[in-house]
């Protein structure tokens, strides 16, 4: 391969290696992982899976540990604006040069093994963290759990935030089936923390089958918290339980935990911006369970609200719209910069009241139209990571 100098070149090239973007399974990536780390990774690991709340829980964990002396690696996906967001050490994103160096090492080790874009990303995170001599890695699962590339690593603690219906083509169309996929990140005799409020039997039975001590969190964190919404209090409590599981190896003072929960922040999770007299809410809610949490949080501060919305075609859009409609006075529908995006006219047909919608040419037009409403106090932008990425780039220029 020539011209390895830019990160964009590497990423574009990775996307051409396999026809399908998502190819679940550990057979290929495990071979390369073992070539890179024959003795396993040289740092502690917390693996975080779940339908919603993974990123927020990682943020709580990261924030808690960053109050301490430990060097913490954070691997998340997808990114909003820059690929570099996927890898951070003590909150600092990896440079292009660091990522390229990791890719080059993977290339020398993979030989005849074909890897996906996501598998390159997982292995790159592990290399970057090992090179930086971190103490503990927080690894967010991309999709499911059992067959996700992150699962090549034997974690010290597994976390499952919740289980809802999403990615049915890959994980199954019932909570029982999806629960079994997410349970795959558990390890024998190593603790698992679960924040699901009604855990499916498959999760519990698999934990019993492989002798995983599992703790279910049902009470939200009661103190001051950096992220809004009752669901975030559960995520915070889950993070604290995970920290407690590693207290012998990575002790943390109570004040560090309190400060960490208070200081936690993450883009695109009920993120607030203010323009003139309007409150702008950015949220990556992209399935019914996430939209329900978003709507519950909106209801905590009732005000006249319009929405800017779009979604990927494989999502349960009708349920998402139905859940949010009572809180939204008008909808602005926008196209997305993704091949999987639904066309705006088809999206409008998902609404029981199409008259409550306006189709906009692009995100910029939608934001301008929403901000013109004199009687509207709040604009909520949601439906996809792509929606939030497109909006963020525009709002940062306003």
* Band of residue 168 on the pLDDT scale cut at 50, 70, 90: low
Q: Given a cut of 60, is residue 313 above it in pLDDT?
A: yes
Q: Is residue 161 located within the same domain as residue 32? A: yes
Which stretch of 27-31, 184-188, 338-342 has the lowest confidence by average pLDDT? 338-342
* Band of residue 270 on the pLDDT scale cut at 50, 70, 90: very high
Give the per-residue pLDDT at 171.
Answer: 77
Work out the end-to-end distance of the chain between its first and last CA atoms, rounded to an integer number of angstroms: 41
Using the Cα atoms of residue 59, residue 62, residue 66 and residue 67 in order, give the sign of their dihedral: positive
Residue that terminates a domain, selected from 236, 263, 290 = 263
Q: Residue 216: helix, strand or coil by DSSP?
A: strand
Could you list the residue range(s) of the whole structural domain that residue 194 is in? 7-263
Using the Cα atoms of residue 105, residue 74, residue 15 and residue 392 in order, give the sign of their dihedral: negative
Q: Is residue 355 located within the same domain as residue 387? A: yes
Which stretch of 13-17, 292-296, 336-340 has the lowest confidence by average pLDDT? 336-340
Q: Is residue 221 located within the same domain as residue 361? A: no
Q: What number is the average pLDDT over the span 184-192?
A: 97
The answer to whether position 78 is within a domain reads yes
Give the per-residue pLDDT at 120.
Answer: 97
* Band of residue 2 on the pLDDT scale cut at 50, 70, 90: very low
CA distance 99 to 104: 9
Q: What number is the average pLDDT over the span 291-317?
A: 95
Residue that terminates a domain, selected from 230, 263, 296 = 263
Q: Given a cut of 80, is residue 347 above it in pLDDT?
A: yes
Q: Is residue 218 located within the same domain as residue 152? A: yes
Q: Given a cut of 60, is residue 4 above it in pLDDT?
A: no
How many domains does the chain contain in total? 2
pLDDT above 90 as % of the chain: 88
Give the per-residue pLDDT at 166.
Answer: 73
Q: Is residue 199 located within the same domain as residue 281? A: no
Q: What number is the average pLDDT over the span 79-94?
A: 97
Average pLDDT over the chain, rounded to an integer: 94
CA distance 189 to 69: 28
The answer to whether position 2 is within a domain reads no
* Band of residue 19 on the pLDDT scale cut at 50, 70, 90: low
Q: pLDDT for 363-383, tens place per residue?
A: 999 999 999 988 999 999 999
Q: Is the pTM of this model over 0.75?
A: yes
Give the per-residue pLDDT at 194.
Answer: 98
Give the per-residue pLDDT at 169.
Answer: 72
Residue that terminates a domain, selected from 247, 263, 279 = 263
Q: Is residue 148 located within the same domain as residue 242? A: yes
Q: Given a cut of 90, is residue 127 above it in pLDDT?
A: yes
CA distance 61 to 157: 12
Beginning with the edge strand found earlier in the chain, give each strand of the sheet holding 192-194 in spatial order. Answer: 92-93, 87-89, 72-75, 136-140, 44-49, 157-160, 192-194, 214-216
Q: Is residue 255 located within the same domain as residue 276? A: no
Q: Is residue 138 located within the same domain as residue 254? A: yes
- Relative orientation angle of helices 230-245 and 288-299, to the nearest 10 degrees: 110
């Amino acid at each position: 391969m020539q011209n390895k100098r830019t990160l964009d070149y590497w990423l574009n090239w990775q996307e051409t290696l396999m026809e399908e973007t998502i190819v679940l399974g550990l057979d290929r990536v495990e071979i390369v992982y073992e070539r890179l780390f024959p003795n396993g990774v040289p740092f502690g690991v917390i693996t975080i899976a779940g339908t919603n709340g993974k990123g927020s829980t990682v943020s709580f964990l990261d924030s808690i540990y960053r109050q301490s002396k430990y060097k913490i690696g954070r691997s998340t996906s997808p990114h909003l604006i820059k690929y570099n967001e996927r890898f951070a050490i003590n909150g600092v994103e990896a440079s292009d040069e660091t990522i390229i160096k990791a890719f080059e090492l993977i290339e020398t080790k993979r030989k005849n093994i074909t890897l996906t874009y996501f598998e390159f990303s997982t292995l790159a995170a592990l290399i970057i963290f090992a090179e930086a001599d971190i103490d503990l890695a927080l690894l967010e699962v991309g999709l499911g759990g059992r067959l996700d590339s992150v699962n090549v690593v034997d974690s010290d603690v597994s976390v499952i935030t919740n289980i809802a219906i999403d990615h049915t083509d890959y994980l199954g169309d019932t909570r029982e089936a999806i629960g079994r996929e997410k349970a795959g990140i558990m390890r024998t005799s190593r603790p698992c923390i679960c924040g699901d409020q009604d855990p499916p039997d498959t999760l519990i039975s698999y934990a019993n089958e492989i002798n995983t001590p599992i703790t279910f969190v049902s009470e939200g964190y009661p103190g001051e918290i950096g992220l809004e919404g009752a669901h975030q209090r559960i995520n915070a409590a889950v993070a604290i339980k995970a920290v407690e599981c590693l207290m012998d190896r990575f002790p943390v003072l109570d004040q560090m935990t309190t400060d960490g929960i208070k200081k936690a922040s993450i883009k695109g999770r009920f993120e607030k911006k203010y323009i003139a007299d309007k409150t702008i809410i950015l949220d990556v809610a992209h399935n019914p369970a996430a939209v329900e949490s978003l709507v519950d949080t909106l209801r905590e501060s009732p005000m006249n609200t319009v929405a800017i919305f779009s979604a990927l075609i494989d999502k349960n859009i009708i349920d998402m719209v139905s859940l949010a409609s009572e809180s939204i006075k008008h909808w602005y529908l926008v196209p997305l910069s993704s091949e999987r995006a639904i066309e705006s006219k088809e999206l409008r047909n998902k609404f029981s009241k199409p008259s409550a919608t306006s189709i906009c040419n692009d995100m910029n037009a939608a934001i301008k139209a929403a901000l013109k409403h004199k009687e509207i106090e709040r604009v909520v932008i949601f439906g996809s990571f792509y929606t939030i990425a497109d909006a963020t780039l525009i709002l940062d220029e306003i």
